[in-house]
Amino acid sequence: MTIDDLGRAAGSAARSKASLEVEPAMMLRQLRRTHRTRNVLAISAGVVAFAVAAVFLVHILDTSRPLQPGSPPTPAPSASCPQGVSCLGAGRYRIDMTVPMTVTLPSGYQGAFRQFSPDSFEDYRTDDTWSGGVTFMENAKPAADDATWSQDPAGGSTADSMATWFTQRPFLTDAAKVPVTVDGMHGWLLTGSVRPGARLPADKAGEAAGPTFFTLGATAAITPNLKGKYVVLDTPGAGVTVIWFWSSDGSRDALSDATTYLNHITFS
């Protein structure tokens, strides 16, 4: 073997030894990188799974439950509006009846409007929910003095005739009508109390009642506990509109805090 052959053999042995020493180190680093990559992927997958589960849980917790029959509506602190009502902002609402009515919410009312029919809506006070509120009735009719909730022809079909008819209800005492103007339209404010011993032929919320007005989806009446005041207006295109402020809290004036409604109602 020549010196060149020995040199080539020595070089080959050195390269083989280096290969044996370097490759395991490189493999170790590669394994460490692979391990770290797998850990990151596993952690990332865990974070994604947790986020998905959290969103799902929030969705479940945030789902509104339907109201039970007879339970009061709760105003939602969102931009959504009750059915048949458009939210205009700044406490203003457009009630979408045949002749739409725009109202400004008084401080003592919820703005959680409830629609009974296309021509009847109701709102409730914030301090005695279900015991006080306001009912808006379009195309309202005078109710006969019986249990049928049918129309009394004696009441006529105008705000003037219904106001006079109201003061003559046999179950009322101290019945009166006072002229009012709402959105430039002439109308009447009607007041009265149940006459002691009077016959009350109708039923309202389980109580014997004296019927006053009705529309397609709502009825208005007076009972010894349920007191109220009415505004009747001729509304071109929608007959007579009745705005009934009512309360079953004997210590409260049914018109308390309601003047904002009357002073800011517009029809269009």
* CB distance 240 to 140 below 8 Å: yes
Q: Who's near 92: CB < 8 A, 6+ residues apart?
A: 102, 103, 104, 105
Cα torsion at 205, 249, 177, 259 (round to 10°)?
-110
* Cross-strand pairs, 89: 92
Q: Which residue has the higher pLDDT, 230 or 19?
A: 230
Q: How confident is the model at residue 169 (pLDDT cuts 50, 70, 90)?
A: very high
- The most confident of the ranges 76-80, 166-170, 255-259 is 166-170
Share of the chain above pLDDT 90, in %: 55
Q: How far apart are the C-alpha atoms of 131 and 122, rounded to whole Å?
A: 12
pLDDT digits (tens, 9 = 90+) for 255-265: 776 778 888 99
Indicate whether this model's pTM tops 0.85.
no
Was domain 85-267 assigned CATH 3.30.460? no
Q: Whole-number mean pLDDT of the chain?
A: 76
Residue with tokens 């295109």: 237
Per domain, the residue ranges of the chain are 1-65, 85-267
Max Cα separation, the chain?
Answer: 140
* CB distance 254 to 228 below 8 Å: yes
Decide: helix, strand or coil at residue 87. Answer: strand
Q: How many residues does the chain have?
A: 268
- The most confident of the ranges 45-54, 117-126, 128-137, 187-196 is 187-196
Lowest mean pLDDT across 116-130, 153-167, 173-187: 116-130
Upper half-sphere CA count for residue 260 (Cβ side, 13 Å): 13
pLDDT score at 118: 93
pLDDT digits (tens, 9 = 90+) for 19-68: 433 343 444 344 344 444 444 444 444 444 433 333 332 232 233 332 22
Share of the chain above pLDDT 70, in %: 67
